[in-house]
Structures are given as C-alpha cells and as structure tokens.
Amino acid sequence: MSLNGIKVIEFAGLAPGPFAGLVLAHNGASVIRIDRPSSTNGDLLSVGKRSIALDLKTVSGLRVAKDLIAKAECQLFHTSDKREGLNDRLIYARLAGFPRNGHDINYIALSGILSMLPGTIDEPTFPLNLIADFAGGGLLCANGILLAITERVVNVDMVSGSRYISSFPLISAGSGAWAGPRGTNVLDGGAPFYDVYTCSDGKWMSIGCLEPQFFAQFIDKFNEVIKSSGNQGSWLPSRSMQYKKEEWPKLRKYLEDGFRTQPRDFWTDVFHGTDACAVPVLSPAEAAQLHGSLYPMPHPEFSRTSPSSLPQNEIKTLDPGKHTADILRELGLSEKDMRQLVTEGALGKEARELERPKSRL
C-alpha cells in the first residue's frame, strides 16, 4: 500500500483527527493512538490502528510518548494540544477549531457556508457534521500530511477548511447560480428540478436535472406517468419553462403532488436507465446492500496499490490501551522497564495488576 512503513502517532480526539488517521491507516500507515488511562472511547474510525494508554502528566509516560514520536514520520493531534517535533523528518499535523472551541455547526457558521445551505424560509439547515469535521478538517488534514514532503508543519483549522471546500458557492455568492437570497437559487433548494421529493410510501426521490437535455427527459417521463394515471389537471409543464423562475412555484407543486401518487420504487423504475438524473434516496441499510458493505470502503483507489479493508465484524471501537504491551516491547522496553512504568503511574491504575506475580502486561 502507498504508505507502508510510515509511522503515525495520533493523540486521541474527536471526529476530524481520527478520520485523518483512518485515511492514513487505510493506505498502509502504522497508526498508534495515544489514549489516556482509564478513558473510554466510542470512536468507530479506528480500523487498522493500535492504542497505547499513557499518562502524559507523569515523567515516564511523557518519555514513552516522546520515544514513540521520535521514531514516527507524523504526529497528529487535535485542538489546543501543543507537542514538539522530536525528529527532523517528523510531519507535525495540528487540527484546530479556529478561532475558538466549538463543533462542526459553529465552524461552518463562521465560514459563511451555513448561511447558504438549504433549509426553511426562516433558517438554513446543516448536513450532519460532514463539512467541517470530516471534509474541511480530517480529509484536508490527511491531504496536508501527504503534501508535507517539503513542508513539515500542517496546520488545519476547520473554519478555513470549510471555506476551502466551499470555494465554488462562496466565490459565486451574489452572482450567477447564487444571485438571489438563500432558498431561491438553483443549488440551494430554490429550483424544483434540483431537490428531494416525498413519495406515497414516505420514501424520497432526488432530482438533479440541471441541464436542459436532462430536464427534458425527466419532465417527459414524469408527465407521461401523470397523464396515464388520470391525475392530470389543466396544466402540464413544458421543457422550455425550466429556467423561468416565475413558473418554479407552480412546477414545484406539480412535482410534489405527482411524486406523492406513487411509491419510491415505482419512480425508481420509471427513471432507471435514463438521463433524467432522478434516483432514489437510499437508507443506510439500502446503500450498504448496494455497495456490499455497511462500512464505506477506503477511497480513492490507485492504479498500483489498494487501500486496506477489513471484514465487517472486525470494524469496532478500539479499547484504549489495548496494544500497550506490544507497543512498549516494540520500543525495546523489557518487562522490568514496563513494571517501572506501572509503579510510576504512567500506564494508569488498571495496569497495577501487572505487579501480581507472573503477570504480564
């Protein structure tokens, strides 16, 4: 794999840091997560990683962490942690929620993109925590690490990251596709031919026929169904009215009423194999069936190497400290050295069981 032989030290944190580490691990990097002793971690983004539990407030615990970093190519940590680089080749990657603590919704609020997202007339909505945490944070951080062959320090703040991945709408704001107020433009829920519609069974269809030739296929098929069902009123939309904004409210009502006459899978069959850009909105379970796995596979793919993937039953949370003994032995520590760490409290209270006769870490 592309990153075979690369060692990464990841300090346990929230979504963006673990996702950056996951991207690196999927592509062959050896990722060691440093957890606090006695901590719990429900992070599912831990495939291919190992964990060591260290109390960095102890002299010996900090020494072990420094030894690990000294043998690594990348040090990955989150928010306000301040770590020093301990070797010349070290890539120093810091993820922060600039300019203050917060979460995804706060970062995209400061980036300017939240104000442009679809929602109700009164307020915008947000796409889970995907923009800042995973795209603007974790993914850009992993990308920065890969670019850090010549630059050894990677600073990623999730407000700037959110702005960067939103370059198109932010640069276009106030003109072209984004000329009107939020909710009146083509890509923010204003256009009836770029939206999600509810079907008779409560499931949804997504429509994205922006180009005239695609809209023509969509509206012809849709009109055909409405006419054959006997639900046709006195008005039918034509191909030529697609970008006539004054007709959008009427077209939206027509599509809303029409989609509600049939279940989602009926509409899926109607548009299957066409260029109408009309496809079903799948549930997570349905998408898993389509893609062959509940868990997203590593991406992108490469011509010469393949990212790693694990069976579904191996994808689970990583218990803090699970690999402490193995990692310490790899550092060259003896059983005596490890017992000394226990005595000094560097491995936490749970490790005291090592002091029992014939016990091993």
Catalytic residue among 67, 81, 103, 319: 103
Q: Where are the strands (E) in 14-60, listed by range?
A: 30-35, 49-53
Q: Where do runs of H (alpha helix) occur along 148-274?
A: 158-165, 167-172, 212-229, 248-259, 264-271
What is d(CA 229, CA 16) in angstroms, rounded to the nearest whole number?
Answer: 49
Q: Which element (helix H / strand E) includes 75?
A: strand 74-78
What is d(CA 65, CA 112) in angstroms, rounded to the nearest whole number?
Answer: 39
Q: Which amino acid is at 86?
A: L
Is position 103 annotated as part of the catalytic site?
yes
Catalytic residue among 104, 133, 188, 195: 133
**What is the DSSP pairing of strand 204-208 with strand 194-198?**
antiparallel
Is position 326 annotated as part of the catalytic site?
no
Main-chain phi, psi angles of 279, to 5 degrees: -135, 155
Q: Cα separations (Å) of 179 from 115, 170, 240, 302?
A: 14, 11, 21, 39
Nearest to 16 by CA among 161, 188, 149, 146: 161
Catalytic residues: 103, 133
